[in-house]
Amino acid sequence: MRLILLLLACACSADKGVTVHNSTPSVTITDPAAGASFDVDTTINLIALVEDRETAPEDLLLRWTSDTDGTLSEDSIATSDGTVEYNTANLSPGQHVITLQAI
């Protein structure tokens, strides 16, 4: 059985109100490539780059999710250069759309 990953990047703003403006963080999943497939129980190293003009990367709230398995991690922390990694060998068999959300 194989796992197939489709990767999405999602950035969300924490704006509340009309007087405060906070630009949306940018998120780019850099590895693995979209459509990559893996054997079940293989450790998959997800790597992304996050940026925000107003907030240091290490201060962003990050959430990795799978459309099949739900929330994978809410405790990832980006490095000061914006690199964030998440490793898992626990995805269920089948196709997954993996998303990284930055707030």
How many percent of the chain have pLDDT more than 70? Answer: 79
* For residue 101, pLDDT beyond 80: yes
User: pLDDT-derived band of residue 30, with 50, 70 and 90 as boundaries?
Assistant: very high
- Report pTM: 0.78
* For residue 15, pLDDT beyond 80: no
Better pLDDT: 2 or 94: 94
Question: Beta strands of the chain (E only): which ranges?
Answer: 2-11, 26-31, 37-39, 44-51, 62-66, 70-73, 83-88, 94-102
> Looking at the DSSP assignment, which residues form a beta bridge with residue 26?
51
The pLDDT of residue 16 is: 61
Per the CB < 8 A criterion, the answer to whether 68 and 40 are in contact is: no
The pLDDT of residue 23 is: 80
Mean pLDDT calculated for residue range 13-28: 72
Per the CB < 8 A criterion, the answer to whether 84 and 78 are in contact is: yes
The pLDDT of residue 20 is: 61
